[in-house]
Amino acid sequence: MLFSSITFLYFFLPATIFLYFASPQKGRNLVLLVMSLLFYAWGEPVYVLLMAAQIAVSYVLLWLADRSGGRGAARIFYILSVLLPFAALFYFKYFNFFMNTVFGIETRAIALPIGISFYTFQIASYCVDVCRGRVERQKNIVTYAAYVTLFPQLVAGPIVRYSEIEQTLTRGADLSKICGNIGNGLVRFAVGLGKKVLIANVAGEFVSEIAMLGQRDLLLSWAYAVAVSLQIYFDFSGYSDMAIGLGCMLGFDFPENFRYPFISRSVSEFWRRWHITLGAWFRDYVYIPMGGNRVSVPRWIVNVLVVWLFTGLWHGAGWNFIVWGLLFAVLLVFEKGAGRLYDRKRFLPEAVLCGIRHAYVGIVILVSFLVFHNDSLSGAWADIQALFGAGSRIAHGVGDAQIAVHSYLLRNRIVLLCIGLVGSMPLPVWLWAKLQERLQVSAAGAGIVRALRAVVTVALLVLCTAYLIDGSFNPFLYFRF
């Protein structure tokens, strides 16, 4: 089931909220579990059994570790509780790629369960945290299963750790804040839905239109790269906003997953702003246990390469994802060395250097997302060459008819690109904050702010509903991960 669907918006979500808050506190986790399983089974009726089996196995293994008399036996159970979810992930996501790459054997395609990368990481982080004593083992299997299957972030994140929502799961939401939470959550959900439906989907249509042309001129090649980047960003950040909003409605405080990554001045800053929960997961459960940066330079480089190899593979079993991850690893190592050189001797004024940094990160984003978006390295390389006036994607000696088509496509979508670029910056939120600050000095002004927020929220929901009824292009890119 998609968040951006009529069924979810006007049937599933209202029913879930009603049942959740109409139930006594002790029964709410059961409501969440049942509705989350229904949500997942709507699109994956078979693989809901796989998820249920992984929950049961990890629960039993942690119970056995807790009851084990010897440290050695407990350690084995803890290790199994972490490795078995990853074994399932490897089989469904990487087995074909591994057999083809290592042994050259073509195997039968295996359907990828939606969201398996996300809930595998949540199960693994919970088991590791229990092993390390960071959280207590949840003895109630319904509560534990509700954590793993929590539908707002089940299929595309953000990656939520048990410690971040333990209090709400075990003690319940603060009833005094329910009305405010539902209102704030609805606003956040509407904004995320608008990002997804009104920008990401339309940008995706533009990407498809350009791809169908085959050849393209230089300007259209850059427009294509921008559209690809905006589609990926608004698709994923829109889903994250909707997930955070839904969590807020139910009394949960999910972590932020994006903080305006396109304003970054370095690749390291970009990854502090992009898919924050994934970066934090790899930092805490892979990078730091390997030694982090508290090791020799050669070992640190190895640590970075390993983490980013895994980051690329997490997104998909393909050489494009491996190259995508290792590209960021190389750039991060380069930035570390360049930063040390710059600290010793400053060659340029700060203002000039700031502009260069923004331009550098902008080009990195466009190039990296072309690699990310393509199914093959050859296609990605052709798209990258087209950005710089070379390769087969450039239309040489095109006729007037094709020039007219290129011009029409750009004119038809230029407003979308501008809206997307402005919307990816902090400017709209800053303007809204300034407006609130000016108006909320009086009771009448505060009322105007509330009315404006309600009108914008309703308008977004109405526009998105109209688009969903009329349109057919509505994929979620991160469902395939």
E runs forming strands in 87-212: none
Pick the closest to residue 38 from 60, 69, 62, 12 (CA basis).
12
Pick the closest to residue 57 from 36, 35, 85 (CA basis).
85
Q: Which residues pair with 216 in a beta bridge?
A: 394
One-letter amino acid at 228 equals: V
One-letter amino acid at 92 equals: F
Positive or negative, the CA dihedral 108, 114, 118, 122 is: negative
Tell me the backbone φ, ψ of residue 284, rounded to 5 degrees: -80, -30
The distance of Cα 363 from the centroid of its chain, to the nearest Å, equals 21
The DSSP string of 118-150 is HHHHHHHHHHHHHHHTSS-----HHHHHHHHH-
Helix, strand, coil shares, percent, the chain, to 5? 75, 0, 20
Distance in angstroms (rounded) separating the CA atoms of residues 207 and 227: 6
Coil, helix or strand at residue 172: coil
Report how far apart, in Å, the C-alpha atoms of 321 and of each of 315, 326, 338 are: 7, 9, 26
Distance in angstroms (rounded) separating the CA atoms of residues 330 and 304: 9
- Which residue among the candidates 275, 315, 373, 406 is catalytic per the annotation? 315
Is 396 annotated in the active site? no
- CB contact at 8 A, 245 and 185: yes
Tokens representing residue 194 in the block: 């608008």
The distance of Cα 361 from the centroid of its chain, to the nearest Å, equals 20
Q: What is the largest CA-CA distance in the chain?
A: 81
Q: What letter would DSSP give residue 391?
A: S
- CB contact at 8 A, 187 and 461: no
Distance in angstroms (rounded) separating the CA atoms of residues 206 and 211: 9
Tell me the backbone φ, ψ of residue 70, rounded to 5 degrees: -105, 150
Tokens 């209202």 found at: 14
Q: Which active-site residues does the annotation give?
A: 315
